[in-house]
Amino acid sequence: MRKAIIAGNWKMNNTASQGVALVNAIAPLVTDANCDVVVCVPAINIPAISEAIKGTNIKLGAENVHFAEKGAYTGEISAAMLLEYGVEYVIIGHSERRQYFGETDETVNKRTLTALANGITPIGCIGESLEERETGKTEDVLATQIHEGLKGIEDITKIVIAYEPVWAIGTGKTATAEQANETIAFIRTTVGEMFCPKCAAQLRIQYGGSMNAGNCKELMAMEEIDGGLIGGASLKAPDFAAIVNFDK
């Protein structure tokens, strides 16, 4: 039985003090959650949020990690820097990183392997654009991202995959629950072919396309969907808590 995981992706939102106020508001609303609860926050907020979540069931995530241990990589963050503040999860390969900052399947793979080597759970993002979906290329695009982004991993059950249809991020559009479930089933099958079906059956796969308080129950009722990577709704305590408590 796969345990659901709901992870907030704050993106470039919230100062440290605003972030502390937000987690202080979220914490009492999610104390009885039956899923893993994660907040992935801007790097500069990590020290403050690390302190704020102590004594709660909220786990700390980052929004990126570099693949080098250290060096001349201005603006990047190493795994050791994240570990010092208790970071347990890291988002890798988000569509915005791919679109705006030149992330590729190759760099996604390198970052993923580095996170795993340091005991940090990667939340690896894959997804297709609207044009790719409308031209029937969804499965080809996802298969390439899976094969290139996950190669070299020894234990696939130690990562989380977030399926994020690019056309449904920040647009207000959402794939139907059936569409999301069907695509995630394809992802699981592809991972099973690459690794092993038993491993794929244990792999947690989130839906990351504008899940919100209004549609979370329907999406989470789908057999293949194991959680959500939440953008805008993670910035509002009542909305994020409603998603975390989808089964209540």
Contact by Cβ (8 Å): 104, 149:
no
Q: Which residues are catalytic?
A: 94, 164
CB-side exposure of 89: number of CA atoms within 13 Å? 24
Q: How buried is 156 (Cβ within 10 angstroms: 0-12 exposed, 13-18 middle, 19+ buried)?
A: middle
Expressed in angstroms, the distance from the first to the final Cα of the chain is 18
Token representation of residue 211 = 């899940």
Pair 67, 92: CB distance under 8 Å: no
Contact in structure between 103 and 97 (CB atoms under 8 Å): yes
Q: Length of the chain in residues, anyone?
A: 248
Helix (H) or strand (E) holding 63: none
Q: How many CA atoms lie within 13 A of 198 on its CB side?
A: 1
Structure tokens at 78: 């190493």
Using CA atoms in the order 92, 93, 94, 95, what is the torsion angle rounded to 10 degrees?
Answer: 180
